[in-house]
Chain A
Amino acid sequence: MSGTALTQQRDLFARLVTLGEEVTDALDHTNVVSTLGEEELNRAIAAIGDRALPDAATSALAALAASVERVIAANDPHRAIDWIGMQPRLALTLLAATLNPASLPKDVVPPSSGATVAARIPAGISFSDAPRDGRAVVYSGIQADPILRPLAVAIANATPAERLIARAVMNDPEPTAAEAAALFAALPSHRTTTDPLVVGALAIGGKAQASNAQYRGAVVEATTAEMLRRRPVLANDADRLVRRERRFAIDGVSADPHPFDVTVEAGPVPELWDCKWGARGIDASLLAELEDARIRAAGSSARIAIGVVAFDTAAIVAARLTIVRAPREKTRFITLETLGRLAAG
């Protein structure tokens, strides 16, 4: 029984890879991620052997299989690439949740340190709202959607396993409440379909394809901002100091080609964060732009911190970075498992 369920996952994975490989521009990414996923699935199959799986695991794996079937049926190779990174880790997480819940990772929020009041931003550095072009107007409407803030709070409070499942639901072409419930039921927390995390994820997943991608991006930004607002040092004035879609200037001269997703506008080291739904969104131009902003600030003897928040697993982001040729030594990377580090500073 267990063998069948996991073998089915491997077959579906192979079909996802075939679909993803249609995007020739992303072949490098697809290769490194699919190699990683294939190894994980094979390892899981070998470890489980003929052992019978708990009912919760069987139901959850069936729900996962149904989601993957829908992704394949939608014939969207870009979505398939995202799932190539997600499906094996999700299958392993569901197995771990039912067989050895203690092995599930929790987010780490290291103790905060430093002053209790935010310092002023260094002289010469300034931030301003991005110009309201057509895209910004549309996107600001999405960002203001009341569904996002509660979902961001729920994600911030969730465990990495819950975030991963929510991520899958949000990127399911047509998620169903029953299947989402089956996935979440495998976890020790047993979130129901009335839980804000499940409700929010289903709502995002239910968006039409065109707006779904924008909503997913907005979820990552909202979650990043939510985490940053939790820093004790920003607590008294978090809404003013943690901002979205802001431009960055040095001595009044714009120092960025486009707005940064989330900024921390407090000293002594202001922060620029770019947010990505998946590891694939991290590319050389993104890293170069962040590094460029940092270097420009350094040229004016000012320090800024730069970082990327990827709503993806650490393993996938690490694999992605091995094929991206761009400066990244000064860039912080936050992943789905380590969102808590944003709150710690």
Chain B
Amino acid sequence: MARAVSTPPDAAHPARRPARFATRGHDAAAAHLATLLADAPPHALLIVGPRGAGAGTLARDAVATLMCGEPVDGGPCGACRACRLIASGSHTDLVVINPTGESNTIKIDQIRALAAGFALFSVEGGRRIALIEHADLMNEDAQNALLKTLEEPPSRTHVILAAAEDSRLMPTIRSRCAVIRLGLPDAKQASELLGERLGVDAPTAVRLLRMSSGRPGPLIDAEATGDAARAHAQIRRQILDFAATQPHARLGQLGALVADARAILVAGDDDGNAADGTESDDSSDDAPDVDAEPKKKSPAKRSAKPTPAERRAAATALLRLWRGVARDLALVSTGAVDQIAFPEDRAEIEAVAHRLPPATWGEALHAIDKTLSALRRNGNPELLLDAAALSWPTL
């Protein structure tokens, strides 16, 4: 089977996002998807994008468009029976697969069930579709099982995969999919989306978006508020103050900082989404995409005593934020003030950064990176934070 290759929008297919697409901030990709589905819907479509950036939403738009009985403007009509069934989550010809269990992976049984379902006739008489969210979390056996379905797809069936890292998928799966790649959503549209969904004012939406590195998904998932943005800013300032704090006093403050970091997890720093204001290159994170089956995590649902996973997530969030501060200090100390992630802290950052040589901040950034790396390799969160606090530069 020939590999389906995606193409960017061109003059014949103007970049116009279908009006009923839920996806925001990816106009060109949305228009390209609409064109692709209208011309020759691929039997396998892979949408790749950073977690929380909208790949899951675009995949659902693709599902809705393929299922819709009377597409409008390249997108779903939103009114037909199929659209209503999808909206209510009860379309019998749509199978949604998500990672399950403690391992948070998609397992072979789920894919076998999908293949068995594809062998049956369509209940509604139209297409049968499988939406595999977080497809990069399929384990190897599941991927091998899926490959068989992709190699010999039953007629009028489609498999839509949404993934953050296609490198985790077998090349043989990738080669059988039409691929659409997303970057971060347009910042203006993403901020507007946050304003609408979270009910926050425009400046708060911008700050929240910055804390989640431009990914609105985790923020919407967690129903973030202005309090999260304020907690975020407070932690940044405390870290900035660390340089003027004696090492033993830093150790004493770590407990409170970790507790605060648990609060900002609600704002989307958990599950691997960067909190340092920069785009994360962390390839080992397993964050669920907010756009797909969002898992609500309100503060009230968090137990007083954190679980090991929560402790690790909080330490990761704190270290990511710490990394963001270290990066800003390193940038300012080398004169690249305009590139800092948190411009609202500029005065404080400059006050600290220029008191030590640029190399010191570069090494501090490197040390935090190494600490994060150790944490991913199953390092002990509390010990790593202790070591990071003790080795942080002192003015």
Contacts and interface: CB of A to CB of B under 8 A. Distances in A.
Interface in B339-395: 359-360, 363, 371, 374, 377-380, 382-384, 386-387, 390-391, 394
Nearest to A332: B382
B248 interface: yes
Interface in A320-345: 321-322, 325, 328-333, 335, 337-338
Nearest to A341: B251
Contacts of A313: 387
A318 interface: yes
A331 B246 CA distance: 27
Interface stretch (A103-111, A147-155, A240-248, A254-262): A103-111
B247 interface: yes
A322 B359 contact: no
Most chain B CB inside 10 Å of its own CB: which residue of A108, A313, A319, A330: A108
B76 to A, nearest CB: 45
B14 interface: no
Contact of A314 (B249, B308, B378, B387): B387
A47 interface: yes
Contacts of A264: none
B255 interface: yes
A331 to B, nearest CB: 8
A24 interface: no
A338 B246 contact: no
Most chain B CB inside 10 Å of its own CB: which residue of A318, A328, A330: A318
Given A110-B255, A335-B386, A338-B386, A329 B308 contact: yes
Interface residues of B, number: 27
A325 B378 CA distance: 8
Contact of A321 (B252, B308, B360, B380): B380
A46 B387 contact: no
Contacts of B374: 318-319, 322
Given A330-B308, A337-B390, A318 B383 contact: yes
A100 interface: yes
A315 B255 contact: no
Most chain B CB inside 10 Å of its own CB: which residue of A106, A110, A313, A314: A314
A106 B255 CA distance: 17
A105 B380 contact: no
Interface string A23-61: 000000000000000000001001100000000000000
A59 to B, nearest CB: 24
A102 interface: yes
Given A330-B308, A337-B390, A103 B246 contact: yes
Counting contact residues on chain A (CB < 8 A from B), the size range is: 20 to 34
Contacts of B246: 102-103, 105-106
Nearest to B384: A318
Contact of B378 (A105, A106, A322, A332): A322
Given A46-B359, A330-B308, A338-B386, A318 B380 contact: yes
A317 interface: yes
A317 B383 contact: yes
A46 to B, nearest CB: 7
B382 A321 contact: no
Contacts of A103: 246-247, 394
A147 B294 CA distance: 62
Contacts of B359: 46
A322 B383 contact: no
Contacts of B311: 329
B391 to A, nearest CB: 7
Nearest to A321: B380
Contact of B383 (A102, A110, A314): A314
27 contacts: A43-B363, A47-B360, A102-B246, A103-B394, A105-B246, A105-B247, A105-B248, A106-B246, A106-B247, A108-B248, A108-B249, A108-B251, A108-B252, A314-B383, A314-B386, A315-B387, A317-B383, A318-B374, A318-B380, A318-B387, A319-B374, A321-B380, A322-B379, A328-B378, A329-B311, A333-B383, A338-B386
Interface of A: 43, 46-47, 100, 102-108, 110, 160, 313-315, 317-319, 321-322, 325, 328-333, 335, 337-338
Q: Nearest 3 CB-CB pairs, A to B?
A: A329-B308, A106-B248, A105-B247
Given A106-B248, A108-B251, A333-B383, 17 more contacts: A46-B359, A100-B394, A102-B394, A105-B390, A106-B246, A106-B247, A313-B387, A315-B391, A318-B374, A318-B384, A321-B378, A322-B374, A322-B377, A322-B379, A330-B308, A333-B382, A338-B386
